[in-house]
Structure 1
Amino acid sequence: MSRDAAIQAATRYLDEGGFVADLARRVAIPTESQNAERGSAMADYLEREMRATLEPLGFACQVHPNPNPKGWPFLVAIRREPGAKHTVFSYGHGDVVRGQDAQWRAGLSPWTVTQEGDRLYGRGTADNKGQHSVNIGALAAVLGVRGGRLGFNMVLVIETGEEIGSPGLQEFCAMHRKEWGCDLFLASDGPRLDPARPTLYCGARGALNFDMSVNYRQGAHHSGNWGGLLADPGITLAHAISSIVSPTGQIRIPEWVPAELPASVRAALADCAVSGGEDGPQIDTWWGEPGLTPAERVYGWCSFDVLAFKTGNPDMPVNAIPGQASAHCQIRFVVGTDYRQFLPALRRHLDRQGLGMVQVAQARAEIMDATRLDPEHPFVRWALQSVSRTTGVKPALLPNLGGSLPNDVFADTLGLPTVWVPHSYAACSQHAPNEHILLPVMRQGLAMMAGLFWDLGEGSPL
């Protein structure tokens, strides 16, 4: 009975085909949370797949309805051991974005796991079925080597609405916080900093989506007869957007950025180089907040992007001045800013610019707030040491993920120190056709998680 034996058992799970077989079964369940007709798929994933996987590992499982009528159900799996001194909370989401079946490359399907070299293709392989499958596989390996014991308690929640903003998750966790009695959080989602380097992160940037629009009139009018006489909503909206950021992407609204980059964040990011691997885009080094490194810009600062812009008929332009224009925009924000002030600050800014005709409206009711555990927290230092011991390399430490996750529920509502260990990479085509994972990353992920779970059984890291 040893740590090395548990790690070897975890990697054998992949080497001997068990991991791919389990993941293929899970990917085949089309859990599209944006599709109202997928209720039976959600039930199948939680009841037929997750319950059937977790109960043989000693978890007591129960599927709970969502307290929010807009949300999908939750599976709660609880495993307690006599004498355990701490309780770990873990998380995964069984829902995926729409399959986009027709857009996948020839020979690929979103609902079939297909292996090509070191890649496994399929919807959910990276986000998030592959990642929580790694963690469950590592748990099983530790239990097998330790004779059916972990050495700690665990509460695992699998939700089915993360891709629609996790409606109801905050209320659900608040209802059960005392009952669960957890001490720390450990889970997996999102990409590594670099596919070749183990990565940990301590929180997530928040995300606020909003719409800007200009509505001058109904209908469009001939540009020869009315050009120069009618205000162009596309031009007005373009000026509004250009007033928010500089030509090189620097945000011009003070309330949208933190006052400073904390020293602990800067120190953690000092040896972090952003890379999407050989398929990733090249970084535009001239874009964003000046004076910051690429890692500091994406993990330590806020960003503003226009995700969609429409005026007239982009697919079939005609010689007519449109009456309306709209843009769907997003702010990714970090700790040190208050998203509740973002849209009021934008309204004041536009009014100062003489752009009162530009309308602003929040696009989504659910907001994932920014969170960040101090990189110097004892749990973070402990996790870094465990991963380094397993892999023999220094992991990258990100103060927070560049994307957004419901980590505010775990950090704020449950009050837990949060550490994430991602098993994907930035060029995995997450949310797009041809989503995939890398088998070497999965294999190393199984080893790392087995090491972490083994070490948790040796004593509390707090």
Structure 2
Amino acid sequence: MNSDRLTATDNASALARDGRFLDVLRQRIAVPTESQNADRLPDLYRYLADQIAPALQALDFECRIIDNPVEGGGPFLIAHRIEDPSLPTVLGYGHGDVVRGIPEQWREGLDPWTVTVEGERWYGRGAADNKGQHAIWIAALETTLKSRGKLGFNAKFVIETSEEIGSVGLDVLLETEAEALSCDVLLASDGPRLVRDKVDIKLGNRGAFAFDLRVKLREGSRHSGHWGGVLEDPGLILAHALASITTPRGRILVEDWLPKSVPPKVTAALKGINVDPSDPTLIMPDDWGEAGLSRAEKMYGWTSFIVLAYVTGAPEKPINGVQPDASASCQIRYTADVDETQFIPALRTHLDAHGFQQVEIVDLSKNRFPAWRTDPDNPWVDRVMTSVEKTIGYAPTLMPNSSGGLPSEIFARHLGCPVIWIPHSYGGCKQHGPDEHLLQPIVEQGLAIMTGLFWDIGADATGAQT
């Protein structure tokens, strides 16, 4: 490895050991950017204006903060540093918003808005999702610039503050700002690694499709003693409707929700993959879900159906009454091998065929990430894989997509660029729940990986020694 490149990656790794990266993370975690809480809108602006813009301006980026074009969405920051229009352009992405802090659920001694260090764990809401990860991106860019005096490529960055509510407004922003964000490749970090101690690279994401099911039969409840067993119970009707969607062991029975075929390259990539949840409390029975598939194939190459919430009556204060209505919030996760436009029609046909005409389907189209997969044969994939291997000394795992939702398709559709994700977290990070944390060893490695990648992109573009 070239000594200058090695020095740069070593300098980047040192940021995670000497406290400098931790100091930055403390400042960013302290801003409570809960996008699910409308009262936090000023904090979303403050995060971009006080945290991200100054960090990028110090690297000679020009920055703009843009109001969300969709009501209820948080602001965006767009930044760019153009060294030479003839050089390749790399676009970075991150989201500054977080899910609710739920401080009452965190372990004693921990607070979502204060970084607490316990051994290799750095606790705080957004540490893993996504403040820590886009902080790695910026720090690696800074280290490359300081080490070389230039990047050797053009860099752009967009950060949104509504990812946790479905990336509200991002589609519109990319349509209106497509020229400003034009690039050769999107390189970003979000989500967990497949295995804690093994680097992986993901080429997209499974889609997230949300809908509600509702049964409303009357106004108000009726005395259960007088009317129970005579009046239809919406809770029971909806429960049976939900049960018809899968087998008792979770295998989906709505055929048009499932892939008709899976590309051989995807099957090959998932073969032999070991899913490590890094959490001994998570039990994954082999007989749950689609029969004959491995855990990796179920998570990364197939469709899943989840009931997020189910309500009839008032669970906190039940009364002796036949309830008037029931509702369930549902979600489908799916790959690029499935046609999402068939989800609602197929479900309607399925429910009607099983006698559930009373069940209403509410399409929640705003809360959706379409599925996307970058072609594994795209030259940028090989460039990234080669660079990362040079840094870590072994070939990273190439994953066709992540299991969770990301805005890959939105970027690919508007910008026409390959989308590549390099996650710097792990399955046990507890993102979206209490005690979210980032691991110091993964931060240290992530800083070296991204610095090496930026170094190699610049070297390839300018013909410098690598």
The answer to whether the superposition gives a TM-score over 0.5 is: yes
Shift of 1:423: 0.7
Report sequence identity in percent: 47
Q: Distance in 1 between matches of 2:459 and 2:288?
A: 46
Out of 65, 72, 75, which is 2:74 matched to? 72
> 2:108 matched to 1:97?
no
Shift of 1:364: 4.7
Q: Name the counterpart of 1:177.
A: 178
Q: Distance in 2 between matches of 1:375 and 1:285?
A: 29
Shift of 1:432: 1.3
Q: Name the counterpart of 2:237.
A: 236
3-state DSSP of counterpart to 1:24: helix
Q: Name the counterpart of 1:4.
A: 6
Shift of 1:39: 2.7
Shift of 1:222: 3.6
One-letter amino acid of the counterpart of residue 128, structure 1: N
Tell me the TM-score normalised to structure 1 length: 0.96
Shift of 1:84: 4.8
Q: Distance in 1 between matches of 2:350 and 2:5?
A: 57
Q: Name the counterpart of 1:121.
A: 123
> 2:389 matched to 1:380?
no
Q: Distance in 1 between matches of 2:291 and 2:377?
A: 26
Shift of 1:196: 1.0
Q: Distance in 2 between matches of 1:354 and 1:36?
A: 40
Shift in CA distance, 16/221, structure 1 to aligned 2, threshold 3 Å: same
3-state DSSP of counterpart to 1:38: helix
One-letter amino acid of the counterpart of residue 394, structure 1: A
Q: Name the counterpart of 1:161.
A: 162
Which stretch shows the higher mean deviation, 241-250 or 80-89? 80-89
Q: Name the counterpart of 2:208.
A: 207
Shift of 1:316: 4.1
**1:289-304 alignment runs, 5 A limit:** 289-304=290-305
One-letter amino acid of the counterpart of residue 187, structure 2: L
Q: Distance in 1 between matches of 2:69 and 2:217?
A: 41
Alignment RMSD (CA, Å): 1.7
Q: Which runs of 5+ in 1 are unaligned?
A: none
Shift of 1:428: 1.2
List per-residue Cα deviations over 1:214-245 (Å, max 9, x = no partner). Answer: 12223333434333222222221111111111
**1:257-268 alignment runs, 5 A limit:** 257-268=258-269
3-state DSSP of counterpart to 2:226: helix
Q: Distance in 1 between matches of 2:178 and 2:318?
A: 55
Shift of 1:318: 4.2
3-state DSSP of counterpart to 1:440: helix
Out of 22, 25, 44, which is 1:23 matched to? 25
Q: Name the counterpart of 1:340.
A: 341
Q: Distance in 2 between matches of 1:395 and 1:180?
A: 28
List per-residue Cα deviations over 1:15-43 (Å, max 9, x = no partner). Answer: 11100000000110111112222232122
One-letter amino acid of the counterpart of residue 288, structure 2: W
Shift of 1:96: 1.0
- Residues 94 and 134 of structure 2 are in contact (CA less than 8 Å); yes or no, is this contact kept in structure 1? yes
Q: Name the counterpart of 1:400.
A: 401
Q: Distance in 2 between matches of 1:264 and 1:343?
A: 29
Q: Distance in 2 between matches of 1:70 and 1:105?
A: 32
Q: Distance in 2 between matches of 1:204 and 1:451?
A: 24
Q: Distance in 2 between matches of 1:73 and 1:16?
A: 33
List per-residue Cα deviations over 1:375-420 (Å, max 9, x = no partner). Answer: 3332222212211221122322211111101111111111110110
One-letter amino acid of the counterpart of residue 77, structure 1: A
Shift of 1:271: 3.1
Shift of 1:49: 1.1
- Residues 303 and 334 of structure 2 are in contact (CA less than 8 Å); yes or no, is this contact kept in structure 1? yes
3-state DSSP of counterpart to 2:180: helix
- Residues 280 and 426 of structure 1 are in contact (CA less than 8 Å); yes or no, is this contact kept in structure 2? no
3-state DSSP of counterpart to 1:57: coil
One-letter amino acid of the counterpart of residue 196, structure 1: D
One-letter amino acid of the counterpart of residue 61, structure 2: F
Shift of 1:460: 5.4
List per-residue Cα deviations over 1:240-269 (Å, max 9, x = no partner). Answer: 111111112111112111111110101111
Tell me the TM-score normalised to structure 2 length: 0.95
3-state DSSP of counterpart to 2:278: coil
Q: Distance in 1 between matches of 2:307 and 2:86?
A: 49
